[in-house]
Structure 1
């Protein structure tokens, strides 16, 4: 008969694990589980998930002579090992209280309530105290200790002793083996976290590779421009060398970290100085910049300005009518950055390809910036084809 209870409980455990797996696949919950740090709202949502799973474990339990063989401890401990005491303690208290109030006549109600609270506190203590790779092992161990507390309390508090011993003899092995479910629940979250890190590492590698490809001829063109100024305007040549060194320093220091927006604008202005000299001041640049101390990903603005100049202004018949406006405006909780030109205007197919994640030909810089913004802020560029020209906007925040 004990073998039957073991098999049935393993089925119940599998049901909880699969239910948790399905929940983790939902976009709203997966995005939470992928985070490195959880805010109060995240922990509240996660806590609700584990409270519900713990209560389901009680309702889905197996009744045996006044006891309920269930998976409640599995979910409580999993919540503590994975997300800490702010998840496991509420899950332990509420699901334990539910067990006590839902079946007040059950002889094991008090032991189950006490052990549920203990499991919530005990598992929460292990959060961040053990390496990620050992979460599953320690989780199973904590689950077994918690269920042994249940067994000891049943023996001490339940009468008659013969019935208490009969219950213990019947449910002990299934309860111990059932704790393997903690390992499966932990592995689900570990897999989500690993997948996220792998994706981020791959994206960063792609971004670095893309960044190195942005307009590789620019340096050669800049050097030719400087060489031409050396003979008739040495001071201008010296100024351009400083601009080029500033531009190159920013590119060589690129590591996709956040930098002060003022430093980013130094690189933008260095690029513009060189391009204006190269095209005999055919480029009209307007700045509308609020004073802000926000930090942004490096090399975000310059590729957009380059795109406006190279693909918007320079192909025009009358380049001297071309204008690029760079705007940085403080909003309530965000900073809006926009690059607007009155050039030829971007092709609608290019916009569609960028939004679909397809890198358009000759638009590596634009595509790169869009992906990097999505990586940092979950929202990329807003690109609009104007009656004359193109408007590119995006938002950043601290």
Structure 2
């Protein structure tokens, strides 16, 4: 196996943790209220903390290449924003981003900023979708584009450029693939849950 494929496999394993969290969110009466647009500030705060901790997990479980962490850190804030809005997204992003910045390194600034932006943009997509989860296709496209933006931020902010280019060339495909697959898995579980709730509501009205 080449290095890039090894990284993809490991990052996909990390993204599987997101699937477990999706099951927890949809199974918990407390947390799934946010998916049904009935979340209170308390639920939104819990979502922000939960996915912020996932963001930290993504950092520490990542791989170090040329002083940079190849990871799924952005996935937690992206999901928080998509399911609970900008406050949850920014909260999760700040938790993951500040923690990443505290580690230091040549990519500390663009990586921490990208994590915060991931939560903010996810929240804006939530609002644009009528305060609903946007669906699998939009969520996966968002994950791909967000990681692309992350790579561009590294290219523009990390010096020297030759090092930035080498980091991006090594990490871009593994990070995009892992974040997209993690987002797809989470989105499918959430979409399935929402569809079942819709059918249940229609059935109860019919009765």
Q: Which residue of 1 aligns with 2:158?
A: 158
Q: Which residue of 1 aligns with 2:20?
A: 18
Q: Which residue of 1 aligns with 2:183?
A: 182
Higher helix share: 2
Q: Which residue of 1 aligns with 2:100?
A: 99
Please report the RMSD computed on the Cα atoms of aligned residues, expressed in angstroms: 2.1
Consecutive unaligned residues in structure 2, runs of 5 or more: none
Matched, 1:197 2:198: yes
In the aligned structure 2, how far is the partner of 1:94 from the partner of 1:110? 14
SS in 2 for 1:68: strand
Q: How many residues align?
A: 203
Task: Flag the 1:114–1:79 CA change in 2: closer, same or farther, 3 A.
Answer: same
Higher strand share: 1
In the aligned structure 1, how far is the partner of 2:98 from the partner of 2:155? 20
SS in 2 for 1:176: helix
Residue pair 2:48, 2:91 contacting (<8 A) in 1 also: yes
The offset of 1:37, in angstroms, is 2.5
In the aligned structure 1, how far is the partner of 2:121 from the partner of 2:7? 27
Consecutive unaligned residues in structure 1, runs of 5 or more: 207-398
Residue pair 1:47, 1:90 contacting (<8 A) in 2 also: yes
Structure scoring higher RCO (CA < 8 A, sep ≥ 6) equals 2
Residue pair 1:112, 1:150 contacting (<8 A) in 2 also: yes
The offset of 1:4, in angstroms, is 0.9
In the aligned structure 1, how far is the partner of 2:24 from the partner of 2:64? 27
Matched, 1:86 2:92: no
Q: Which residue of 2 aligns with 1:108?
A: 107
Matched, 1:173 2:173: yes
The offset of 1:135, in angstroms, is 2.3
The offset of 1:141, in angstroms, is 2.1
The offset of 1:53, in angstroms, is 1.5
Higher alpha-carbon Rg = 1
Residue pair 1:33, 1:193 contacting (<8 A) in 2 also: no
Residue pair 1:78, 1:182 contacting (<8 A) in 2 also: yes
The offset of 1:133, in angstroms, is 8.1
In the aligned structure 2, how far is the partner of 1:92 from the partner of 1:43? 13
